[in-house]
Structure 1
Amino acid sequence: MAQNRNSNQLVVPQATAALDQMKFEVAQELGIAIPQDGYYGNMATRDAGSLGGFITRRLVQIAEQSLAGGTQ
């Protein structure tokens, strides 16, 4: 993928692969094509927002299940 110029830093850098995998899974569920070259400039803002929203929703769901002692 292209170089990430995002100023956000992961608390657990080893989670990068898992987050990328989740991004691809959610995009596939939504029918959004992820650019193979890593350049998101041609992606519609609506698609990028939907993707981010669903990823956030899924991360919150995983955290809630973890706190409740359940499994994914």
Structure 2
Amino acid sequence: MAQGSSNQLVVPQATAALDQLKFEVAQELGIAIPQDGYYGNITTRDAGSIGGNITRRLVQIAEQSLAGK
């Protein structure tokens, strides 16, 4: 995750899984994420698309978990 982020994870061990999810979503959307970790060249629209899709997917996972699937 970004080192300058003020967000704190409830489960710090989830960092790698969230990073993997970010790369998967970006790849599905056709957005190239720089490997050096600098996101300054990503447009706000692209960053929002990635974040929105991550949120959508996490909500879907939680709903399935609550439904017992």
Alignment TM-score, normalising by the size of structure 2: 0.95
Say if 2:55 is the partner of 1:32. Answer: no
Match of 2:52 in 1: 53
Q: Which runs of 5+ in 2 are unaligned?
A: none
Instruction: Give the letter for the 2:36 counterpart.
Output: D
| Number of corresponding residues | 69
3-state secondary structure, aligned to 1:32? coil
TM-score by length of 1: 0.91
- 1:16 partner amino acid: T
SS at match of 1:62: helix
Q: Aligned partners of 2:3, 2:64: CA distance in 1, in Å?
A: 30
Q: Give RMSD over aligned pairs.
A: 1.2
Once superposed, which parts of structure 1, at least 4 consecutive aligned residues long, lie more than 6 Å away?
A: none
CA–CA separation in structure 1 for the residues paired with 2:42 and 2:25: 15
What runs of 5+ residues in structure 1 fail to find an aligned partner? Answer: none
